[in-house]
Amino acid sequence: MSYQWRKEMQCPWDKSFKKYKDWYPEYYKTKYEICKKINPGTIVEIGVRAGYSADAFLQACPTATYIGYDADNGQHGGKKGLFAKPYMEWAKKHLALYDYNVTINFPVDSQKVDTLALADFYHIDGDHSKEGVMHDLDTCYNSAELGAHLLIDDIDYIDDVKDGVYEWLEIHKDSITYEYIETKRGDILMKKIK
């Protein structure tokens, strides 16, 4: 089976969808391929939004357990407003159509926690500030089992993310291996070795 951008997954109140509709299938195909290669048993994601990346991961590994966290704070691609419905409601509804094992926790501000669920794959896509990314990397690293993978994107798209990731990698160079993956926005895939 290969990745499918599922039309029914499109969140009706996702206004940015129009702008990105030609772009999403390839972007999420990359997420699918990375996850397929790792083949995790448990996936933890910071930054669920409407569940598009969650869907890609679960298409790749349908028997994996997925645990997502989102602050629903209107920041970094999120939505907040008097009449705004949380994107995560949509993610829950859509993912429930399939035989997946999914838990979505919101609102949870990842900056206010130091540990998340134990997993062998973490996708960090929440707070995109330099400090936010470094905090989330600490949290995921501390929560992860040995040999776990940590994936973070927007390396070539948001300078703060790039700065945070490379500063964090310098501090943790003895306990992490990593590879840069050339994707639409630049991904770094890390492995916890200590």
Residue 53 contacts ligand SAM per CB under 6 A: yes
- What is the Cα–Cα distance from 147 to 22, expressed in whole angstroms? 35
- What is the Cα–Cα distance from 52 to 87, expressed in whole angstroms? 10
Q: Which helix (H) or strand (E) holds 166?
A: helix 159-171
Contact window for ligand SAM (CB under 6 A) among 59-67, 68-76, 138-146, 165-173? 68-76
Min dist CB 18 to ligand SAM, Å, is 16
From residue 139, give the alpha-carbon distance in Å to each of 11, 45, 90, 177, 181.
29, 12, 26, 17, 22
Residue 183 contacts ligand SAM per CB under 6 A: no
Min dist CB 53 to ligand SAM, Å, is 3
Q: Which of 14, 70, 120, 187 touches ligand SAM (CB under 6 A)?
A: 70
Q: Which of 9, 34, 35, 71 touches ligand SAM (CB under 6 A)?
A: 71
Min dist CB 8 to ligand SAM, Å, is 15
φ, ψ of residue 28 in degrees (nearest 5) = -80, -20
Site string for ligand SAM, 79-118 (x = CB under 6 A): --------x---------------------xxx-------
Contact window for ligand SAM (CB under 6 A) among 65-73, 94-102, 163-171, 183-191? 65-73
- What is the Cα–Cα distance from 189 to 150, expressed in whole angstroms? 6
- What is the Cα–Cα distance from 62 to 121, expressed in whole angstroms? 14
Answer whether 56's CB lies under 8 Å from 16's CB.
no
**Positions that interact with ligand SAM (CB under 6 A):** 46-47, 49, 52-53, 69-73, 75-78, 87, 109-111, 125-127
